[in-house]
Amino acid sequence: MSSGDDAARAEAQPNDGRDGGNQGLADTTENTSAEAEEPAKAEEVAKNGFRGRPTAYTEVDGLSERYPMNHRPRGSALIFAHSKFDNKSLNPRPCAAHDAEIARAAFKALDFKPEVFFDLTRNELLRELQAVSKRDHSGSDAFAIVFMSHGEVKTRNNMEFVWAKDDKIPTKELWINFTAERCAGLAGKPKLYFIQACRGPDVDKGVNMSRAVRGMAVQTDSIEEYVIPIHADQLVMWASYPGFPAFTSKRKGIQGSVFIHYLAENLKDYANTSPRPSLSSILLKVSREVAVLYETDIGSDNQYHENKQVPYIHSTLLREIYF
């Protein structure tokens, strides 16, 4: 093939494509005919934009480094605490009421409107999440969920679940209703999820660390349009690393879940400081304190004796959060 043919072929290729993949299904004959058989889709595209992209409205500049925090209350903070379970193989969680109260107080101190729910069934939980996603969130700056229960992992596919009172749900159900295309009122706003639940049975005995000592002790009148991914502006913080358990304690001033204790303590403490630090720095301190200050004391005959725990964060936040 001539160099001219190569150049023509290269020019015909799209500038962007899926790494390691084929062109999108939208360009295939099979998908085109499927769309032709569903004329109703054309109306949806006309309403929502190219390929059904919905439109949401925001006050924030696309490259702003901070999320705006201008409302009181900041938004809703849903706290789901589970203490009793129909499945008798699941131990009761007597710390649930205590953990729910310290979480409620922490988010109230940050100017959220906390709502506490105890021992919801699977259907009640899913209905509540769907109902909240349909509220008018236009007057909110952010949204939060704190979920406390037992957790479970399917080893076959590593799919994670959390338990309601009577049944389990995939963990992703906690946030799936609040993505940008399903809940336009929260599009472009931070959505925060804090999950106290075990993520597996692995053991973490930690590593001894020895410190080496060296030496001596705007505002604009123009309208900007930009597009964000549907899963942007989301932070999920689990109590423990994937595959590992989360612990409760009645030592060192802790009266329930270790993660919830340090999370609530730091959120409430920093709510009273001025200026308030960024949420990322607060959560970094939470992780550090859980990892360094806590170690289980269950008894030497238990595999989880002298075990460590470290929280785990998955974030698609685009900006810093300063409450």
Q: Which domains does the chain have, with CATH numbers?
A: 76-202+229-315 (3.40.50.1460)
> Which residues are within 8 A (CB) of 263 and not within 5 positions of it... i.e. 6 or more apart?
103, 106, 194, 237, 283, 286
Tell me what pLDDT residue 210 has.
Answer: 67
The b-or-e profile of 95-127 (16+ CB within 10 A means b, else e) is: bbebbbbbbbebbebbbbebeeeebbeeeebbe
* Residue 45 phi, psi dihedral angles, 5° rounding: -65, -40
Q: How far is Cα 106 from Cα 263, in angstroms, rounded to an integer?
A: 9
Give the single-character DSSP code of 236: E
Tell me what pLDDT residue 140 has.
Answer: 96
- Ordered DSSP codes for 168-201: EEEGGGGTGGGSTTT-GGGTTS-EEEEEES----
Tell me what pLDDT residue 179 has.
Answer: 93
> Token pair for residue 3?
């160099």
Return the closest-CA partner of residue 26 out of 180, 18, 228: 18
Burial of 145 from C-beta contacts in 10 A (0-12 / 13-18 / 19+) = buried
- Ordered DSSP codes for 11-64: HHS-S---TTS---GGGSHHHHHHHHT-THHHHHHHHH-GGG------SS-TT-
Sign of the C-alpha dihedral computed for residues 171, 165, 117 and 96 taken in this order: negative
Q: Which residues pair with 163 in a beta bridge?
A: 168
pLDDT by position in tens, the chain (length 323)? 555 666 555 555 666 566 655 544 444 333 434 334 444 443 443 344 445 677 776 777 778 899 999 999 999 999 999 999 999 999 999 999 999 999 999 999 999 999 999 999 999 999 999 999 999 999 999 999 999 999 999 877 889 999 999 999 999 999 999 998 899 999 999 999 999 999 988 888 877 776 665 554 444 444 567 676 888 999 999 999 999 999 999 998 999 999 999 999 999 999 988 888 999 999 999 999 999 999 999 888 889 999 999 999 999 999 999 99
Tell me what pLDDT residue 206 has.
Answer: 75
Enzyme catalytic residues:
150, 198
315: three-class secondary structure by DSSP: strand
> Which residues are within 8 A (CB) of 26 and not within 5 positions of it... i.e. 6 or more apart?
51
Q: What's the order of all strands across the beta sheet hosting 76-81?
A: 113-118, 76-81, 143-148, 191-196, 234-238, 312-315
What distances in angstroms separate CA 249 from CA 203, 283, 297, 310, one per listed residue?
A: 17, 20, 9, 15
